Amino acid sequence: MKNILILADGLSAEHFIKQINQKRIGDNQYIVVTPNHKFAIPETLAVEMKSYTFDPTSYSKIKRVLRETQFNMVFIVLDSPDETRESLKNIRMTDEKIRIHLLDHWDAFDEADESYTQVFNINQLISNRLFDHLPNVPLVAQNVGLSESEIMEVAVPFGSNFAYRHIGSISQVKWRIVALYRNAKLILPTSATMIRPQDSILIVGKPNILNNIYLRIINKEGLFPEPFGKNLYMILDMEFDSDQALSYMNEAMYMRERLDDRGLIVRIINPGDFELLEKIKSLSGAGIEVVVDYDIADINAVITADTQRYNIGLIFTSMDTFSGDSLASELFPLKKLVYIFGDTPLATVTKSVVLMSDDEEMESISSTSFYISETLGFDLCLCNFDPEGDFASRRMIIEHYETLSHATHYPIKIEEKKSNPVRALKAMENTLQIAPLAYNLELGSFLTRFSTKSKDYLLSNTKHPKLLIPVVQSH
């Protein structure tokens, strides 16, 4: 049995004593000391509790109580800062290491100054509780685990990246979805469970990771290119891009206009044609910044630093620069959208195409596919092309896109065709190809023409511009 000493006075202390009695926590013996003869002790006790009335600031009396009983911990819940401070002092004179829990109404105590003492600042506690009820604030476990926000409950809004996705399609590294609440009922999810808007999901993981996951869950696609970042960024490597540099600039500026004039930062490397350089610089102005590097040792380090400095969400690059500078492996960890210019200018594109694959990444790119198509006014088409006509294995992905179409009220065309996906895609006109951003994209070898996997031939066709979408995950 554990012995608990409570120095009690005031309304907070009365509620505390009342709750101890109502909850009927067994195996504890409570000794209540109060200076107030009118302090309300429950008439009927459901726990073992003794009460004494005397001034807890009396050193001799507190010392006698502490000597008579071996206490496991002490609670100081008094109505005066002076009484609280003096009582704390008296207890410490008797026992330097006993665990004390102290209620501070007055911002008068600092936990850092008191060893073996946990201070509960009532003003901070109330502020935290009020803050928890603000919109767009996650609910975190207060009295479970480490109480360090490693357990969090998040409501899934309409338009979330997580809405209408199967849990198995969400990469969960160093965090997990452990439960789901829908219509006031608990669901223990499997990989096939689909998350729906207005569900609440219980997630567990490292606090810094959960904070990032929370932002991804609540971030609606209406702020594109968020949640990947806010601004646009273009890499012009004049070793590869000098012939098309101005057209690339116009295309990036066109995208910027369609995305509510987000900031556009243009990073030029390996400059050689100074007349061309001046033409590009003349396009800079409000919201457009041109940065020239005459001597650059590590392009990858520069890109990484720029994405953080400018809060980049979408990166423009050419196929030649993407391949020539081996950017795939460098851009993948940044988790940013990547737009690769094609022979078809963006201004002439009328439809966006997602080529089906067996990868679970198809669900991860769905929300962004819908939003970019709607924002730019493109028809969205999900193409299930297979040389063998094996369409049944991808029904779950098709169901996901159809459900999302109904939820967003944006139409999608599902096209199934027994054909080689490379040839079928090449025959299309005025098309933006949307695909997952993979770590090791193939650069278009001879063997890719025989492959039916989209990632194996993604870069083999320069006809269509491409939007590569990172998988939603956190490390």
Mind giving me the DSSP string for 231-255?
EEEEEEEHHHHGGGHHHHHHHHHHH
Is the pLDDT assigned to residue 253 strictly greater than 90? yes
pLDDT value at position 388? 78
On whether the CB atoms of residues 32 and 49 are closer than 8 A, the answer is: yes
Tell me the three-class secondary structure of 446-461, residue by residue: HHHHHCCCHHHHCCCC
pTM comes to 0.59
The identity of residue 66, as a single letter, is L
Question: Does residue 363 surpass a pLDDT of 90?
Answer: no
Tell me the CA distances in angstroms from 149 to 133, 141, 209, one per residue in order. 16, 6, 10
Tokens of 197: 């808007």
Strand pairing report for 288-293 and 185-187: unpaired
Instruction: Provide the residue type at 37 as one letter.
Output: H
- Determine which of 145-149, 155-159, 191-195, 419-423 has the lowest per-residue pLDDT on average: 145-149
Q: Which residues contact 133 (CB under 8 A, 6 or more apart)?
A: none
Please name which of 76, 65, 100, 70 lies closest in space to residue 3, comparing C-alpha atoms: 70
Two structure tokens written together for 163: 């809405």
Classify the phi-psi angles of 26: left when phi > 0, otherwise alpha if psi is within -120 to 50, otherwise beta: beta
Q: Does residue 255 surpass a pLDDT of 70?
A: yes
pLDDT of residue 159: 66
Q: Could you read off the pLDDT of 377-394 as tens digits, one per residue?
A: 899 999 988 887 777 777
**CA distance linking residue 55 with residue 83, whole number of Å:** 9
pLDDT reported for residue 314: 93
Segments in 266-386 forming alpha helices (H): 274-281, 299-309, 319-324, 328-331, 361-364, 366-376
Instruction: Say if residues 61 and 55 touch (Cβ distance below 8 Å).
Output: yes
**112 has pLDDT over 80:** no
Mean pLDDT, rounded, for 355-376: 80
Query: How would residue 116 be classed by pLDDT, with cut points 50, 70 and 90?
Result: confident
Query: Is residue 403 pLDDT above 50, yes or no?
Result: yes
Angle at 12 between CA 10 and CA 14, to 5 degrees: 70
Would you state the pLDDT for residue 475?
Answer: 34
**Residue 29: CB partners within 8 Å, gap ≥ 6?**
1, 2, 3, 4, 48, 49, 50
Of the given ranges (5-14, 85-94, 201-210, 319-328), which has the lowest mean pLDDT?
Answer: 319-328
Question: Please, what is the Cα angle at 139 between 133 and 143, to 5 degrees?
Answer: 115
> Is residue 470 within 8 Å of 438, Cβ to Cβ?
no
The amino acid at 111:
E
Task: Work out the pLDDT band at 447, boundaries 50, 70, 90.
Answer: very low
Residue range 88-111: mean pLDDT, rounded: 92
Which H or E element spans position 8?
Answer: strand 2-8
Task: Examine the pLDDT at 95 and tell me if it is beyond 80.
Answer: yes
Q: Tell me, what's the pLDDT at 221? A: 47
Neighbours of 122 (CB within 10 A): 13
Query: Does residue 89 surpass a pLDDT of 50?
Result: yes
Q: Which of the four pLDDT bands, split at 50, 70 and 90, describes residue 360?
A: low
Checking if the pLDDT of 472 tops 60, the result is no
Q: What is the pLDDT of residue 358?
A: 60
Torsion of CA 78, 83, 86, 87, to 10 degrees: -30
Q: Which of 35-44, 247-256, 396-405 shows the highest mean pLDDT?
A: 247-256
**Residues of the chain by 3-state class (helix, strand, coil), percent to 5:** 35, 25, 40
Mean pLDDT within 365-378? 86
For β-strands 175-182 and 185-187, DSSP reports them as antiparallel
- How does DSSP classify residue 269? E
Q: How many residues does the chain have?
A: 475
pLDDT tens for residues 27-40?
789 999 999 988 98
- Specify the 3-state DSSP secondary structure of 129: helix
Non-local (6+) Cβ contacts of 162 within 8 A are: 156, 170, 195, 201, 216, 217, 472
- Residue 279 pLDDT more than 70? yes
Q: What pLDDT is stored for residue 128 in this prediction?
A: 82
- Structural contact between residues 164 and 412, judged by C-beta atoms closer than 8 angstroms: no
- Segment 298-318, tens digit of pLDDT: 778 888 899 889 989 899 999
SS3 283: coil
Residue 473 has pLDDT above 50, yes or no: no
**Does the pLDDT of residue 322 top 60, yes or no?**
yes
Q: How far apart are CA 377 and CA 349, in angstroms?
A: 9
The mean pLDDT of 408-431, rounded to a whole number, is 87
Distances from the Cα of 201 to the Cα of 137, 182, 190, 424, 474, angstroms: 14, 9, 13, 40, 17
Question: By CB neighbour count within 10 A (0-12 exposed, 13-18 middle, 19+ buried), where does 342 fall?
Answer: buried
Q: Which domains, ranges and CATH numbers included, belong to the chain?
A: 2-127 (3.40.50.720), 135-219 (3.30.70.1450), 221-331 (3.40.50.2000), 342-475 (3.40.50.620)
| 330 φ, ψ (degrees, to nearest 5) | -85, -35
CA 362 to chain centre: 19
Which two structure tokens, joined as six digits, stand for 41? Answer: 């002790």
Residue 442 has pLDDT above 60, yes or no: no
Q: What is the pLDDT of residues 449-467, one digit of tens each?
A: 445 555 556 677 889 999 9
Give me the amino acid identity at 7. L
What band does 188 get if pLDDT is binned at 50, 70 and 90?
very high
Interval 144-168: pLDDT, tens: 666 666 888 888 876 677 887 888 8
Range among 139-143, 338-342, 372-376 with highest mean pLDDT value: 338-342
What are the pLDDT digits (tens) for 223-247?
578 767 889 999 999 989 999 999 9
What's the angle, vertex CA 268, arms to CA 310 and CA 252, rounded to 5?
65
